[in-house]
Amino acid sequence: MNAEDVVAAPTHPAPTDQGGEDDPWTVGGVELRSRVLIGTSRYPSLQSLLDSVKASGAEVATVSVRRADLGGEKQSLLRALRDDAERAGRALHVLPNTAGCYTAREAVLTAQLAREALETDWVKLEVIGDDETLYPDAVQTLKAAADLVADGFEVFAYCGDDPVTARRLADLGCAAVMPLAAPIGSGMGLVNPYVLRIIRETLPDVPLVVDAGLGTASDAARAMELGYDGVLLNTAVSGAEHPALMAAAVGHAVAAGRLARRAGRIPRRLYAQASTPGAGRIDVPAVDE
């Protein structure tokens, strides 16, 4: 299947009520209509990336930033993303991330370099604590978050599925808290929806984004049904057999999941409950054999 065969998700996800009104959300001081945040790593080609960003309807694209990435190929990538969005009349905000950092000091320095190079106060804070699982280091993440917030950054903080760490990041003033669904790149989906639900209920007014470990569109829909404000995906799209097609599926799934959350699902019941009322039933006498 070619990119042109993809039926793309709308640039602005489906309306959230029958009146057709938009359902924007605000994060980092910016109002967004799309609830998909998309990564830009490991795509089979630049065109595949551009097609996927467009198909997802994303208005935020994350870009890893290291000292060696601030010119050359990275600048070409950013230019291509921005030019493509401009040609299509779409908004696109770049969210630099501190992927590959293992200490708070390293993450803060990386964020400061990104701010100078990309002229943005946004940063996705990622401080890894373990090479095997790529789980975030909660202690170093909290330290870096405090320093970056004090330095005027809008911090999108990646963390484990831990309600305590999530609450502390929110208390520090992070623009968004981004708990993982599963280890980075695993595609395992929401392995602990119970805890993700607790985080949502604990932080009802904080922008929350499920980040890492999603594998397919249904995972994204489920995250939205839990009440999350958005999802961030990279490998689920870039590693798909047809990335742009998966990106389109995710865009539609996120819109559907958001609609379902706002609609309010029926409660789960242990036993059946007839949908047809019993009143007016025909009473047929029993016939003896």
Q: Give the residue ranges of the annotated binding site for 1-deoxy-D-xylulose 5-phosphate.
A: 185, 212-213, 234-235
Catalytic residues: 124
- Residue ranges of alpha helices (H) inside the chain are 46-56, 73-88, 104-118, 138-150, 163-172, 193-202, 217-225, 235-238, 243-263
Kind and range of the H or E run holding 60: strand 60-64
What is d(CA 160, CA 141) in angstroms, rounded to the nearest whole number?
A: 10
Q: What angle do CA 212, 64, 43 make, to 5 degrees?
A: 70
- Binding-site residue positions: 185, 212-213, 234-235
Nearest to 109 by CA among 128, 123, 95, 93: 123
Q: For residues 251 and 56, is the Cβ–Cβ distance under 8 A?
A: yes
Q: Per DSSP, what are the bridge partners of residue 95?
A: 62
Joined together, the tokens standing for residue 164 give: 């305590």
